[in-house]
């Protein structure tokens, strides 16, 4: 982990919001230790919220190696009884991706008018399910550190620049990484003259529904593992740090894109009906500075 003293997006001053507890699954899988506290930190300049210290590259590799494969699912269920094989499968089910593509495709068509997209790369997209058939006539590729097999109709690549993408999509990734500025810089370099589309969930770490869920989860984990109860049953668990270690607004996302050297051509928010909940996403589209797409 790496302690930071400034915003990891805009380098602005930050302030501690409250103590937060590292989820037992993360503490065990990454560091093989009991849950411990970190700080939830805010940047008032760009509106970015993040946990501090930050996960470094080694931490992320230990966490996401074999992401959602049986070993990952079993390790997570060891501390989270609700994380069953069915629950794990539903997080990346064909039905869910169908809804996501149905919401995303018209947005992309609107903002990609005048651009020819022959090759689309899902950067950090697990199996690449999101880009499989997303844009008519576009060849689909995926680059992901997990090493899991690509979805049908998608080609996995070890070098994101190798497929010469006309469009790189980075979806539901930036909320997971310790240093998003480094990642977006890397994506822009891989894009060459192509377009880059970033999207992240719009979430709050202390919304009512999240607090209720955290209370329920802390109770379930404590009942299943009484030895963890002293670590879990405390106020810091209400802001528990799990796999989402960053909280974005649309403004924070566009600030990140520009800070990484990109030019934003469009941005906004949209929702996906993921019954019983509606998920909101912030997005931005653009290119690397000095390129013409």
Tell me: the pLDDT tens digits for 126-159?
Answer: 889 999 999 988 999 999 877 778 889 999 999 9
Mark residue 26 as left, alpha or beta (left: phi above 0; alpha: psi -120 to 50; beta: remaining). Answer: alpha
With residue 106 as reference, give the H or E element that holds it.
Answer: helix 94-111
Range from 16-25, 128-137, 188-197, 274-283 carrying the lowest mean pLDDT: 274-283
Range from 3-17, 83-97, 255-269 carrying the lowest mean pLDDT: 83-97
Mean pLDDT of the 50-57 span? 96
With residue 97 as reference, give the H or E element that holds it.
Answer: helix 94-111
Mean pLDDT of the 190-202 span? 93
* 136 vs 185, higher pLDDT: 185
- Provide the pLDDT for residue 187: 95
Question: What integer best gives the mean pLDDT of the chain?
Answer: 90
- Provide the pLDDT for residue 92: 81
- Provide the pLDDT for residue 273: 77
- Provide the pLDDT for residue 276: 52
CA–CA gap between residue 5 and residue 22 (Å, rounded): 19
Query: What are φ and ψ of residue 262, in 5° steps?
Result: -100, 160
DSSP state, 85?
H
DSSP state, 149?
P
In CATH, which of 3.40.50.150, 3.40.50.620, 2.102.10.10, 1.10.3720.10 is domain 94-202+250-288? 3.40.50.150
User: For residues 46 and 10, is the Cβ–Cβ distance under 8 A?
Assistant: yes
Query: 105: pLDDT confidence band, cut at 50, 70 and 90?
Result: very high
* 39 vs 114, higher pLDDT: 39
- Provide the pLDDT for residue 162: 86
pTM: 0.89
Evaluate if residue 208 carries a pLDDT over 80.
no
* 276 vs 226, higher pLDDT: 226
Express each pLDDT in 228-265 by its tens digit. 787 788 888 888 899 999 999 999 999 999 999 999 99
Evaluate if residue 290 carries a pLDDT over 80.
no
- Provide the pLDDT for residue 90: 85
**Among 238, 130, 257, which Cα is nearest to 188's?**
257
- Provide the pLDDT for residue 292: 55
Question: Rounded to whole angstroms, what are the CA distances from 209 to 5, 57, 172?
Answer: 30, 31, 20
- Residue ranges of the domains in the chain? 14-90+204-243, 94-202+250-288
Query: 53: pLDDT confidence band, cut at 50, 70 and 90?
Result: very high
């Amino acid at each position: 982990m790496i302690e930071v003293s400034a915003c990891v997006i805009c380098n602005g001053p930050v302030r501690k919001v409250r103590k937060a507890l590292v989820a037992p699954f993360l503490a065990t899988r990454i560091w093989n230790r009991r849950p411990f506290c970190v700080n939830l930190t805010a940047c008032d300049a760009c509106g970015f919220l993040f946990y501090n210290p930050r996960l470094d590259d080694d931490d992320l590799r230990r966490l996401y190696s074999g992401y959602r494969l049986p070993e990952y699912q079993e390790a997570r269920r060891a501390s989270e009884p609700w994380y069953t094989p069915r629950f794990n499968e539903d997080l990346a089910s064909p039905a869910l991706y169908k809804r996501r593509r149905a919401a995303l495709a018209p947005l992309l068509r609107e903002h990609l008018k005048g651009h020819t997209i022959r090759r689309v790369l899902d950067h950090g997209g697990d199996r690449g399910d999101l880009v499989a058939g997303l844009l008519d006539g576009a060849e689909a590729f995926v680059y992901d550190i997990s090493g899991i097999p690509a979805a049908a109709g998608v080609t996995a690549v070890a070098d994101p620049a190798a497929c010469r993408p006309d469009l790189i999509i980075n979806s539901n990734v930036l909320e997971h990484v310790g240093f998003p500025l480094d990642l977006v810089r890397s994506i822009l370099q891989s894009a060459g003259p192509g377009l880059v589309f970033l999207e992240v969930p719009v979430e709050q770490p202390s919304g009512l529904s999240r607090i209720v869920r955290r209370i329920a989860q802390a109770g379930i984990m404590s009942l299943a593992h009484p030895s963890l109860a002293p670590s879990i049953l405390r106020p810091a668990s209400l802001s528990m740090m799990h796999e989402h270690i960053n909280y974005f607004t649309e403004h924070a996302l566009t600030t990140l894109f520009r800070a990484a050297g990109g030019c934003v051509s469009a941005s906004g928010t949209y929702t996906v009906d993921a019954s019983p909940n509606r998920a909101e996403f912030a997005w931005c589209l653009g290119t690397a500075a000095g390129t013409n797409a």
